Amino acid sequence: MDNEDEVDRMRARRKRSESSRVRGKSRHTTERSSQAQDHIEASRGDRTYYSTGDGRNPRVRYSGQQNAKNRKKKKRHHKKHKIIFKLLVIAALLIAGLFLFKQRTHQKGYWTIAIFGVDSRDGKLDKGALSDVEMLCNINKETGEIKLVSVYRDTYLKINSKGTYHKINEAYFKGGHKQALEALNENLDLNIDDYATFNWKSVADAINILGGIDLEITDSEFAYINGFITETVNSTGVGSHQLKHAGMNHLDGAQAVAYARLRLMDTDFNRTERQRKVVNLAMEKARSADFATRKTLVTAVFPQISTSIGMNDILAVAKGISKYRIGETDGFPFSRTTMKIGKMDCVIPATLESNVVQLHQFLYGQENYTPSAAVKKISQSISKESGISKPGQKASSGGTSNSKKKKKQTAAAPAETTPAQTEAAVETTEETKETAADTTAVETKEQQYGEKPTQEDGSLVGPGAKIPDTKETDKKVPDTKEDDTTSETKKQAGSEKGSDEGVTTEPETNAGPDA
C-alpha cells in the first residue's frame, strides 16, 4: 500500500515537470516568433518598433526608406536650425556688448584710456616703435566730458620694474604697450582701463573720412609744413598736396598729420598742443557727422590700430558720440624744467610727487590727493638725480613759441627750479646709443624737409613722391629764398616778445628737448 502511494507521487512529480517544460518551451517559441514578426515588419517600413539593447533607440518612428527628396528636406531643416542658432548667438553677443558699454559709459566714474601714437614707417605698432604721442584720455561716464593730458615723451621717469630711469617713451620702445602702461600706472598712480595705439596713416585716413579740419597756420608753421606734408605722404601712402599760404586752411588727412608733427620752429611742448588741437577738431567733426560716416570711420580705422577696446564698445561710442565733448586739455608734467641727464635732453618734473597731485586733481577732481609710497620713492630718486627737490610753478601747456627766448626769460623762474645741468647720471647703454642715432637720423630728415620743401608751387603730392637730394635742391632753389626764410625766423625770434605765444612761466634753462 505504501509502495503504491510512493509510485503515484513519483508519477505526479514527473507529470508536473514535463508540463512546466512544455509551457517554457511554448513561451520561448512565442517570443521568438514575436521578434521575427517585428523584424519582418521593420523591413517593410512605416512602423513603430521597440528594441531592447540591440543598439537602436527605443520607440523610434521609422518612416520608410530614405530617398533624395527626404534627404534634401532634412538638410534644409537642419540648415534652418543652424541659422536660427547663429542669430541667437549674435543677438546674445550684441546684448552683452551693449550691457558692457552701459556698464562703462552710463554709470558714475571714469574711463581712462592711454593713447599712443607711434612713428612707424613699417606698420609696427608695438615693441620697437617710437611713441611720439603719449596721451591720457579720461572720460567722465556720467557727463560725457573728456579731458586730455599729453605726457611729454621726454619726461624722465622710471620705465621698468628693474629700476631703470629714462625718457618715458623708451618704455614703449622696449616693451610695447604693456611696459608703457605699467610705467604710466606706477609713475602717475593711475589704474588705466584700456589703451589704443595708432600710426600716422590711421589718423590721415580718419580725418579724410571726416572731410578734413579747418585751422589757422602761423607764418612760422607754414615755413615748415610743406616739407612735413611731403614726408608724411611718402611714409603713409596717403595722397595730399602742399599748402599755398599761411592763415586759415582746410587740411586733409596728410596735412593734419604734418601739422601735428611740427616742432622744428618751437618745442615739443608746442607740438603736443598742436596734437590735442587736431584731436579736438576731429572730435567735433565726428560729433556733427551722420552715423553712416561714423560707422565707415570705425570700420576703416579699427583694423589699423592696436587696442584693448572691443568693436562693440567703439560702435556704441560712435552711435552716442553726441553725448561726448572734449573739455580741458593740458600737458604733464605741469611744473617742469629741462636739462641733460647723461647725454639725454630730458623733461624733469618739479617735482614728480607734486605733479601727480595736480594730475589727479585735473583728471578726477580729487582735492588734497596723497601720492602712494611708490610715487614718493620715484620722486625722491628723480630729485636726487636732477637736483630738483622743490615744487615749481605751473608752466604753459604749450611751452614757448621760440626756444631762443628762454635765455632772456629764465631770470623770472624760481631759483630752485633752474638747476645747473648735470652730466653723469644715467649709464648710456649700447641700445640707448642706437635709439639716439635713429632719432637723430629721423630729425635730420625732418630738418631737411622742413627747410627745403620739395614742391614750391603747391602741385599735387602723391604716394611714392620722391624727395630730392639737398644738392639738387640747392641748385633749383635760389639762395635768396633760403635767406628770406632765415631772416623771417630771426625776426620772429626777436620781435614776438609781447605776444601771448611767446610768454612763458616755465622754470627752464634750456630749449625744449629735441631728442
Higher pLDDT, 417 or 149: 149
Q: In the prediction, which pLDDT does 9 show?
A: 77
Q: How many CB atoms lie within 10 A of CB 241?
A: 18
Contact indicator for 231, 193 with CB cutoff of 8 Å: no
Give the whole-angstrom CA distance, residue 325 versus residue 284: 8
Higher pLDDT, 509 or 348: 348
Query: Is the pLDDT reported for residue 364 higher than 60?
Result: yes
Q: In the prediction, which pLDDT does 11 show?
A: 79
Using 50, 70 and 90 to split pLDDT, how confident is the model at 504?
very low
Which CATH number among 3.40.190.10, 3.40.630.190, 3.40.1360.10, 3.30.930.10 corresponds to the domain 110-427+448-467+493-502? Answer: 3.40.630.190
Where are the domains positioned within the chain?
25-65, 110-427+448-467+493-502
Higher pLDDT, 369 or 53: 369
At residue 510, what is the residue type?
N
Q: How confident is the model over 304-314, as pLDDT tens digits?
A: 999 999 888 88
Using 50, 70 and 90 to split pLDDT, how confident is the model at 428?
very low
Distances (CA, A) of 148 to 135, 139, 151, 266, 381: 7, 9, 10, 21, 27
Q: How many CB atoms lie within 10 A of CB 390?
A: 13
Q: Is 16 in a helix, a strand, or coil?
A: helix
Which helix (H) or strand (E) element contains residue 334? none
Using 50, 70 and 90 to split pLDDT, how confident is the model at 228?
very high
Q: How confident is the model over 258-282, as pLDDT tens digits?
A: 999 998 888 889 999 999 999 999 9
Using 50, 70 and 90 to split pLDDT, how confident is the model at 8?
confident
Mean pLDDT of 210-223: 95
Higher pLDDT, 86 or 496: 86
Q: In the prediction, which pLDDT does 314 show?
A: 82
pLDDT over 70, % of the chain: 62
Mean pLDDT of 139-168: 94
Q: In the prediction, which pLDDT does 101 show?
A: 56
Mean of the per-residue pLDDT values of the chain? 74
Distances (CA, A) of 140 to 114, 189, 315, 333: 15, 18, 18, 22
Q: In the prediction, which pLDDT does 312 show?
A: 82
Q: How confident is the model over 157-212, as pLDDT tens digits?
A: 999 999 999 999 999 999 999 999 999 999 999 999 999 999 999 999 999 999 99
Give the whole-angstrom CA distance, residue 336 versus residue 352: 9
Q: Which residues pair with residue 348 across a beta bridge?
A: 337
